[in-house]
Amino acid sequence: MSRHSTPSADPRFDEHASDRGQTVEQDRDKPEDGRRRVYIQGIAPEIDAGQYPAKRILGDQLTVSVDLVADGHDVLAGQLWVRPPPGNPSAGSAPREVAYPLLASVNDRYSASCELNAIGRWHYSFEAWVDAFATWRGGLEKKLAAEQDVNVDLLVGAELLGAAAERATGQDRDALSAARAQLSDVAEPLAARAQLALRPELLALMGRHPDRAHATRHARWLPLWVDRERARFSAWYELFPRSTGEPGQHGTFRSTLARLPYVASMGFDVLYLPPVHPIGHTFRKGKNNSPNATESDVGSPWAIGSAEGGHKSVHPALGSLEDFRALAAEAGRHGLELALDIALQVTPDHPYVKEHPEWFKRRPDGSIQYAENPPKKYQDIYPFDFECDAWWSLWLELKSIFEFWVTQGVRIFRVDNPHTKSLPFWQWCIAELTRDNPDLIFLAEAFTRPKLMYLLAKLGFTQSYTYFTWRNTGRELREYLEELTTPPVREFFRPNFWPTTPDILPEHLQHAGRAAFSLRLVLAATLSSNYGVYGPAFELMDNVPRPGVEEYLDNEKYELKSWAPDRPDTLKPLIARINAIRKNNRALQHNLIAFHPTDNELLLCFSKQAPDEQNAVLVIINLDVHHAQAGWVDLDLPTESGALARPARPPELGQSGLQLHDLLSDARYSSQERRLFVRLDPQSAPAHIFLLRRRARTEHDFDYFV
Amino acid sequence: MSRHSTPSADPRFDEHASDRGQTVEQDRDKPEDGRRRVYIQGIAPEIDAGQYPAKRILGDQLTVSVDLVADGHDVLAGQLWVRPPPGNPSAGSAPREVAYPLLASVNDRYSASCELNAIGRWHYSFEAWVDAFATWRGGLEKKLAAEQDVNVDLLVGAELLGAAAERATGQDRDALSAARAQLSDVAEPLAARAQLALRPELLALMGRHPDRAHATRHARWLPLWVDRERARFSAWYELFPRSTGEPGQHGTFRSTLARLPYVASMGFDVLYLPPVHPIGHTFRKGKNNSPNATESDVGSPWAIGSAEGGHKSVHPALGSLEDFRALAAEAGRHGLELALDIALQVTPDHPYVKEHPEWFKRRPDGSIQYAENPPKKYQDIYPFDFECDAWWSLWLELKSIFEFWVTQGVRIFRVDNPHTKSLPFWQWCIAELTRDNPDLIFLAEAFTRPKLMYLLAKLGFTQSYTYFTWRNTGRELREYLEELTTPPVREFFRPNFWPTTPDILPEHLQHAGRAAFSLRLVLAATLSSNYGVYGPAFELMDNVPRPGVEEYLDNEKYELKSWAPDRPDTLKPLIARINAIRKNNRALQHNLIAFHPTDNELLLCFSKQAPDEQNAVLVIINLDVHHAQAGWVDLDLPTESGALARPARPPELGQSGLQLHDLLSDARYSSQERRLFVRLDPQSAPAHIFLLRRRARTEHDFDYFV
């Protein structure tokens, strides 16, 4: 790890390189230095040529690979430049840069690693050059082997040592000068001088003082975003505070306090609240989304704004801002982080409508344009007009909403329908917010076109809702997971799997009852390191749809619900068990996944492994919620899935075999085979979640997979 | 096709986008315009983010695809900007730009095409925006279908028409104003106004005057290089002029004239000559590369330079520059273009050594560093030192060598070992030469590491030697062809297949005789649209190696050879036939290839098709040069090769089947099946080269495949 001067842009690679040749002058120009022989290519990770940051987690090893290509057969050297986040942004002082050596692998590929010890925006770049000394040394070895006269070669080496001495200081300088003198001392016996020239210490010494006069510098700094661990590993629980009251009573932040031990006991770590703001009255929706609300209807929390306030106020029926802060603090004491829902839309009653009419689209009849998706009309909702002339003041105000809730103790935001708001706004807003608060987490609730979902992640959203909710067959799940966990997607998109949401009761959960809810729980919690449930509807297995649609009947979005969380048939024990398994097994805290072939399409089998390969889990799931399924599972991976195979390959079989410890049933099996026969009955268990152990030398002692 | 103002860089996409967030100021900045809602992503073709040009041929359709992604569900519009090569570079006037509409396909993908009607360096870029009128029109349709009141909607549409009228002129302006008036005329019946609003003519009219106020412009112009057709389709014949004389006599340019009809009669179109310069004497190599040359040894043409001159002189024994020009002119009359070999290295006798010692590396003992690849020494060759302080004068002089031969009538250069010369030099030199002479063609003779070979192509070489020479099995050939003909490689790398060269007599040609030479000929000439042979050694099937190496015995590089081109067993007739087939079938002038499964691994089956799908050829080759092979061939393509399947898929079977016309044997077969049984005996024919025809309605009339 050295500290050389910063790489500056190489004109041969400057951003106008692609324009060269457009005008006579540019091309006829003499390059600044035509002796930069090394080309830097094929950078990984790199998202859209560095336009967007790759994402990592605090404590991760960042490993970057590049191709270094130069003419001929000379030995090349290079380094990865890393620029950590500025300690204090307001200081504005140029951040420190650190170099790490690039090590050669095969086929002109080189890589370097560094530990990511801070959250925030990092940058990295590259520098590479021809290593004249290593090249010379390799030639010397061959000539000596061929017993050629190397007298002149030693003098050439002495020149290289002398030049390095000029670049060095202190002890290194002295050592290099001494070596130069010895190599060029023709009085000395040739063999002794050759031996000295080949000493590994000398190679290392020269490596510390390379000749970078003709080094190629990569033209740009590539961005890298480092999040705290929760961005990668989280279990969310969605709860309507207003439904935590006594039956028939409007719940409050205070009544929600009583629900915290219950949520914490299931092992969740994020408590997500729908919007807590005052709810509009104009065109308020009644029960089951009825256009005609009665006096008693409470309306939808996403219909934000009334005379009582807007996005920076809390619904009086829920309590005060002080109550909210108290809830956030108490949740923290239960190991629960509060996540707040931000929906950037207003009702006709929102103060913004009167105070900032310039932020809304006015129709020729003077009315304000309400939300619509023809022929559907949402007259209770006004969208912001992101194309209005006052867009800048709108941006600043919307950003201030997040800033307000940050001051109230919120670090996690679930953003409602971000894909219907201007994308440049998100790119700017999240960059602004996270620079000062790099620990903020944004979950994008976007169920939309794939490229739009991916772009939201590139633009800054930390986690994203996914299509998991509608992926049911083994093939659908396998293909979707492989898409999500393969570069480039895995570099910027972090999935968060939800079996249901207040908006979605998928068809496959409407008829099958407990077995289906158990199945979707296990799938979500094991396939994805981030997952969430909408409760208590989920653990109480509410599966009654509004006829003909994938929505709940008597949807909690439009009315108070009175749940009985202590119902004896609740899924709570299974949820608690699975969350405990996730917390105890780092393999499930990542998405390094490999799928294994089975001879029964209704059995889904995959393994996950922690990056350090110290923890490996094998999951076998029965996708049939009606019947028991049995079949053979092959632990060997098909070579096609090479990309995923390595990190998630199960441990090699020791001579004394493999132990499979089912973390759901606590049963333990031993196997000498790479093939297993399994049978799963949905009435008893939806899956095996095996911790894989290799039997240690001693018969009675099991150690974790290494 | 419209002509709007040039797109300028969009700050949201500026080249420092990746640096945003490094300093407080940058990030806090208000974007120039936050209302540019469309993002341009996933450009194809794009080589290394536009650092290097994609390559096309004069007359090609350039088809470019991008993802246009914006929030919500609005209709998007955009255009491809194309900047043709400057007509007259010295004029320096800004080249004209032309816009082509981007048409939507699926999954947010859009594409546009334009015809490439000039050779040289083109550029393209993109612009995209939200199409407010098309969005509004779609909503109106839905509302009318739902029988909603659209009165206000029509007024909204009228506003859009009025704004467009402001942007328009002449008739369009009048038409837009009239439409605006009618839409807003509340006296008119609603139905009539709605009908007018939905008229396709009105949509087209609005399409001519889009509101691009908030258009996103792609930040950079991507380069595209357009070559003349020979860059893609060529048949090379390598010939040593000095071996065209009477037996024992040193051949000349004049004696080479007599060989032209012979070469032309085989249907070649490029006549490639090894270096024609004076040959050095110091350390001259004798026969079979012997270090001890006798007086009579002629030396290697690649050992360039003597007292008689260097790279801008011709070997006196070959004749004069005037003779050379005469040869070039006469070759042209035979449909042969002269290609000259340029080897940027010198002998100790080259005038450069005395005149420009600063271009060479001097060793501590005062001697000049000769070429070496330890432990091998090449004391007859001095390499240029591209890291010397005088690199710029070296570059200018080396470029002037090409310029000199251009003035002598050479437009095609075969560059010897470009991978051992500085890569930045090639990037600069070829850009310089081709700007003034865009019809120049450079063939890179680089047999080296794959990424280095590909980089040479990116940096400007038109065609490249390949690993074909060592690819023998069906699997090797299939995998290599699929690599070469799949993006990104196919966008910048143009293979030129050579069965042998003066340097290489591959092992598989050393023992099998005629059948092997026929096989390699058919493979080279049908797999690749560019191919070449080293003659007359090839057609006379010279297969005698120097023991233990893949080189010719009595190599023509080191001595005069006296060939008997009219030997009765020559491959000349087969070569002539195959070159004629290539000329008559455009499918073989491209590399749009798809491989078909066979049940015999020794039968290689593939089809090629012209881009316009008007010509399709099916090739079936017996890879076994010793025995007849038979098996079933399946014309249906495996779906995996989707990328290649379409252009090369054989014609659908008409109700009366497919006709296969073997262009080698002239036999014709009919088939009602997608599966064919074939048997090939290497003693009679190495392959079937079927022209595919679909039988026309009438029994006796065949028409070309459509």
Cα–Cα nearest to B556, from B518, B500, B510, B517: B500
Which residue among B23, B30, B420 places its CB closest to the CB of A71? Answer: B420
Instruction: Characterize A372-392 residue by residue with b for buried, 16 or more Cβ atoms within 10 angstroms of its Cβ, and e for exposed.
Output: bebeebeebbbbbbbbbeebe
Selection from A692-696, A702-706, B574-578 with the highest mean pLDDT: B574-578
Kindly determine whether residue A374 and residue B107, on different chains, have CB atoms separated by under 8 Å: no
CA distance B219 to chain A (A): 10
Q: Note the pLDDT tens digit of each residue in B45-63.
A: 999 999 999 999 999 999 9
Determine the pLDDT at residue A14.
36
CB contact under 8 A, A71 and B421: yes
- Residues in A closer than 8 angstroms to B92, CB to CB, are 23-25
Chain B contact present for A86, CB below 8 A: yes
- What distance in Å separates residue A434's CA from the closest CA in chain B? 10
Rounded to whole angstroms, the Cα distance separating B58 from B115 reads: 8
Q: How many CB pairs under 8 A join A and B?
A: 236
**pLDDT band for position B12 (cuts 50, 70, 90):** very low
More confident residue, A646 or A391: A391
pLDDT at B93: 54
Amino acid present at A84 = P
For chain B, percent of residues with pLDDT exceeding 70? 90
Tokens (6 digits) for A531: 């997952």
Average pLDDT of the segment spanning B550-578? 96
Interchain CB distance below 8 Å, B27 and A423: no
Q: Is the pLDDT of residue A506 over 50?
A: yes
How far apart CA B336 and CA B326 sit, in angstroms, is: 13
Separation of alpha carbons A41 and B664, rounded Å: 45
Q: Is the pLDDT of residue A697 over 60?
A: no
Contacts of B69 in chain A (CB under 8 A): 423, 449, 451-452, 455
Write down the pLDDT at residue B657: 65
Asked if the C-beta of A223 comes within 8 angstroms of chain B's C-beta atoms, the answer is yes
Q: pLDDT tens digits, residue range B96-155? A: 899 999 999 999 999 999 999 999 999 999 999 999 999 999 999 999 999 999 999 999
Q: Over chain A, what is the mean pLDDT?
A: 91
Note if B159 is an active site residue.
Answer: no
Predicted local confidence at residue A648, as pLDDT:
40
* Res. A511 pLDDT band, cuts 50 70 90: confident
Q: What is the mean pLDDT of residues B368-393?
A: 96
Min Cα separation A558/chain B (Å): 25
The pLDDT of B320-342, averaged and rounded, is: 98
The CB density around residue A617, as the number of other CB atoms within 10 Å, is: 25
Decide: B455 and B427 in contact? Cβ < 8 Å: no
Cβ count near A125 (within 10 Å): 25
d(CA A562, CA B126): 55
Predicted structure pTM score: 0.92
Q: Is the pLDDT of residue A655 over 90?
A: no
In three-state secondary structure terms, B362 is: strand
Given an 8 Å threshold on Cβ–Cβ distance, is B372 in contact with A50?
A: no
> Cβ of B149: how many Cβ atoms within 10 Å?
9
Residues 6+ apart with CB under 8 A from A169: none
pLDDT (0 to 100) of residue B94:
53
pLDDT of residue B486: 93
Of residues B607 and B9, more confidence is placed in B607
- Say whether residue B149 is in contact with chain A using an 8 A CB cutoff: no
Asked whether the beta carbons of residue B34 and residue A386 sit closer than 8 angstroms, the reply is: yes
Closest Cβ opposite residue A37 in set B18, B86, B423: B423
Residue A692: pLDDT band (50, 70, 90) is confident
* CA–CA separation, B512 and B516 (whole Å): 5
Residue B196 CA to residue B183 CA, distance in Å, equals 8
Grouping H, G, I as helix, E, B as strand and the rest as coil, residue A320 is coil
Mean pLDDT of chain B: 91
- Return the residue in B23, B55, B69, B483 with the most chain A beta carbons within 10 A, the one to mutate for interface testing: B69
Predicted confidence at residue B641, as pLDDT, reads 35
Q: Name the residue with higher pLDDT: A648 or A605.
A: A605
A92 touches chain B (CB under 8 A): yes
Cα of A581 to nearest chain B Cα, Å: 39
**How many other C-beta atoms lie within 10 A of the C-beta of residue B467?**
15
Give the mean model confidence (pLDDT) for residues B685-700: 73
Among residues B46, B269, B445, B539, which one is catalytic?
B445
Note whether A488 contacts B: Cβ–Cβ < 8 A. Answer: no
What pLDDT, on a 0 to 100 scale, did the predictor assign at position A22? Answer: 36
Task: Report chain A residues whose CB lies below 8 A from the CB of B29.
Answer: none
User: A313, A298, A282, A463: which is closest to A378 by C-alpha?
Assistant: A282
Say if B123 is an interface residue toward chain A (CB within 8 Å).
yes
Give buried/exposed letters for A308-318 (b at 16+ CB in 10 A, else e). Answer: ebbbbbbbebb
Residue A703 has pLDDT above 70, yes or no: no
Residue % of chain B over a pLDDT of 90: 85
Buried b (16+ CB within 10 A) or exposed e, B26-56: ebeeebebbbbbbbbbebebbbbbbbbbbbb
Q: What is the pLDDT of residue A604?
A: 97
Judged by a CB distance cut-off of 8 A, whether residue A435 touches chain B is: yes
**Are B221 and A159 an interchain contact pair (Cβ–Cβ within 8 Å)?**
no
A375/B41 touch (CB, cutoff 8 Å), yes or no: no
Each residue's pLDDT tens digit, A402-454: 999 999 999 999 999 999 999 999 999 999 999 999 999 999 999 999 999 99
Residues from chain A that touch B427, judged by Cβ atoms under 8 A, are 12
Interface test with A, best of B71, B109, B110, B428 (most A CBs within 10 A): B71
Name every chain B residue with its beta carbon within 8 A of the beta carbon of A223: 18-21
Which residues, 6 or more positions from A607, have their beta carbon under 8 angstroms from its beta carbon? A587, A593, A594, A596, A616, A617, A618, A619, A635, A648, A649, A650, A692
Q: Is the pLDDT reported for residue B28 higher than 80?
A: no
Cα–Cα distance between B41 and B43 in angstroms, integer?
Answer: 6
Of A72, A420, A431, nearest to B27 by CB-CB distance is A431
Q: Enumerate the residues of chain B whose CB falls inside 8 A of the CB of residue A143.
A: 374-375
Q: Which residues on chain A are in Cβ contact (under 8 Å) with B42?
A: 451
Give me the percent of chain A exceeding a pLDDT of 70.
Answer: 90
Distance from CA of B218 to the nearest CA of A (A): 12
3-state secondary structure of B657: strand
Within an 8 Å CB–CB cutoff, is residue B422 touching chain A? yes
Given pLDDT bands bounded at 50, 70 and 90, which one contains residue A28? Answer: low
Q: What is the 3-state secondary structure (H, E, C) of B548-610?
A: CCCCECCCCCCCCCCCCCCCCCCCHHHHHHHHHHHHHCHHHHCCCEEECCECCCCEEEEEEEC
Question: For the segment A108-129, what is each residue's pLDDT rounded down to a tens digit?
Answer: 999 999 999 999 999 999 999 9
Out of A21, A35, A152, name the one closest to residue B121 (CB): A21
Higher pLDDT, A29 or B490: B490
Which residues of chain A neighbour B424 with C-beta distances below 8 Å? Answer: 12, 31, 34-37
Cβ–Cβ gap B451/A146 under 8 Å: no
Average pLDDT over every residue of A325-344? 98
- Helix and strand numbers (H, E) in chain A are 18, 30
The burial of B397, by beta-carbon neighbours within 10 Å (0-12 exposed, 13-18 middle, 19 or more buried), is given as middle
Asked whether A126 and A41 are in contact (CB, 8 A), the reply is no
Residues 348-387 of A with CB under 8 A from B: 363-365, 367, 372-375, 386-387
Where do the DSSP E strands lie in A60-108? 61-69, 76-83, 98-101, 103-104
Q: Are B353 and B346 contacting, i.e. CB atoms less than 8 angstroms apart?
A: yes
Is the pLDDT at B678 greater than 70? The verdict is yes
- Cβ pair A419:B69 closer than 8 A: no
- Residue A634 is a catalytic residue: no
Q: What are phi and psi of B444, to 5 degrees?
A: -85, 115
pLDDT at A694: 67
Q: Output the pLDDT for position B697.
A: 43
Are residues A427 and B12, on separate chains, in Cβ contact within 8 Å?
A: yes
At B615, give phi and psi (nearest 5°): -150, 125
**pLDDT tens sequence across B610-625:** 988 889 899 999 999 9
Query: Has residue B654 got a pLDDT over 70?
Result: no
User: At A93, is the pLDDT very low, low, confident or very high (cuts 50, 70, 90)?
Assistant: low
A438 touches B: beta carbon within 8 Å: no
Task: Specify the residue for token string 């048409």.
Answer: B103
CA distance B316 to B675: 61
Nearest to A50 among B18, B41, B130 (CB): B18
* Alpha carbon of B225: minimum distance to chain A alpha carbons (Å): 11
Nearest-Cα distance to chain A for B354, in Å, is 22
Tell me the nearest-neighbour CA distance from B213 into chain A, angstroms.
11
Instruction: Specify the higher pLDDT residue, B453 or A614.
Output: B453
Cβ neighbours of A428 in B, within 8 Å: 31, 34
ipTM entry: 0.92
* Percent over 90 (pLDDT), chain A: 85
Question: Tokens representing B160?
Answer: 């859009």
Contacts of A375 in chain B (CB under 8 A): 142-143, 145-146, 148
- CA end-to-end span of chain A, whole Å? 29
Cβ within 8 Å of residue A533, ≥6 positions away = A236, A237, A238, A498, A499, A500, A521, A524, A539, A575
Q: B334 CB near a chain A CB, below 8 Å?
A: no
Instruction: Give the 3-state secondary structure of A532-582.
Output: EEECCCCCCCCCCECCCCCCECCCCCCCCCCCCCCCCCCCHHHHHHHHHHH
Chain B window 34-73: which residues touch A at a Cβ cutoff of 8 Å? 34-37, 39, 41-42, 48-52, 67, 69-73
- Chain B: give the shortest CA distance to residue A589, in Å: 29
The pLDDT tens digits for A197-233 are: 999 999 999 999 999 999 999 999 999 999 999 999 9
Would you state the pLDDT for residue A529? Answer: 98
pLDDT in tens, B268-298: 999 999 999 999 999 999 999 999 999 999 9
